[in-house]
Amino acid sequence: MRVQQQLAASIAKRPLGGYAAEGPVASEPVAWAAVALHRAGHAGPADSACRWLAESQSADGSVGVTRSEPAPAWPTALAIYAWTTVAPGRFADPIARALDWGLSVQGETMPRRDNIGHDPSLLGWSWAAATHAWLEPTSFFVRALDAAGHANHPRAQQGRRLLVDRLLPEGGANYGNTMVLGQTLLPHVQPSGIVMWALPTHDAADPRVGKTLDWLEASLAPDLATASLAFASLGLAAHGRGAAKSRPLLLTAAQSLLANNGSLYRRALVLAALNSTPGEG
């Protein structure tokens, strides 16, 4: 059996898990497992993962980090993405309630200032209530709205503006800012990959998008952390780039995860990335 199939089979055996091999079941890893299993042809386990997410949904429509931690609820976006990917008709009610919740919350905004590199007046999503919007949660909600057929919703449009606004001038993204005390921040692989994954068909004309893709492709290397490698690969694949370089690295990461009982989070991300990068292995 090929490595990609072995990885899918290992997740299908136990589609519920967390950020650590023996850690508590968490919504984000389960959502990524549902998406990865569905695209690998494991319909039953993908459905089981989606049902776990639906059973974890709070009365207000949100989905917390774990069942014992209903807040913060940024994983709601990834639950929407999983449900719309696997079975949008069967999960129509959870999707509708989650969208209502997602569109009712927003990150804190403030007027634009000369000493802040990015535009803090743009609406996005935050990690936790009553805090400023950040790149990753905004990326997750933008992609979720797109997957649910609401790419032209005003919140999705402004979310995409925020994502492009926070790209660094020479490419890549930091976690939320572009400049502090007059210094341009350094790019990081994981947030850069997540933003590119969220912008597959929109705003590609901005020169910072092309520079970010160039930087991400140049950053692919054997010593990248597993999640960073997976998100970089997903971001590049969303723009039809990087497969020849990322796929061998992903296959090596998959072999290591299989040999060392890697967490569901890392196995699901790597499988999702392998599903997006055509090739052998």
**How many domains is the chain built from?**
1
| Residues 14 and 52: beta-carbon distance below 8 Å | no
* pLDDT tens-digit readout, 39-64: 999 999 999 999 999 999 999 999 99
Beta-sheet pairing, 179-180 with 183-184? antiparallel
Integer Cα distance of 27 and 63 in angstroms: 7
Q: What is the pTM of this model?
A: 0.96
pLDDT band of 8, cuts 50, 70, 90: very high
- For residue 25, give the nearest of 53, 47, 44 by alpha carbon: 53
Domain annotation covers residue 281: no
Mean pLDDT for 143-158 is: 97
Domain annotation covers residue 280: no
Residue 256, pLDDT above cutoff 70? yes
Domain annotation covers residue 104: yes
* pLDDT tens-digit readout, 89-107: 999 999 999 999 999 999 9
Residue 115, pLDDT above cutoff 90? no
Instruction: Report the CATH number that the domain containing residue 129 is assigned in CATH.
Output: 1.50.10.20
Long-range pairs for 20-25: beta carbons < 8 A, 24 or more residues apart? 20/263, 21/261, 21/262, 21/263, 23/263, 24/66, 24/68, 25/52, 25/66, 25/67
Domain annotation covers residue 261: yes
Domain annotation covers residue 34: yes
Residue 70, pLDDT above cutoff 70? yes
Tokens standing for 244? Answer: 């020849």
Decide: helix, strand or coil at residue 240. coil
pLDDT band of 280, cuts 50, 70, 90: confident
Alpha helices in the chain (DSSP H): 3-13, 27-39, 43-55, 76-86, 92-104, 135-147, 154-165, 189-198, 207-219, 226-237, 243-259, 264-276
Domain that holds residue 267: 1-275
pLDDT value for 205: 82
* pLDDT tens-digit readout, 163-212: 999 999 999 999 888 988 888 999 999 999 999 999 976 666 899 999 99
Tokens standing for 184? Answer: 């341009």
Mean pLDDT of the chain: 95
Domain annotation covers residue 61: yes
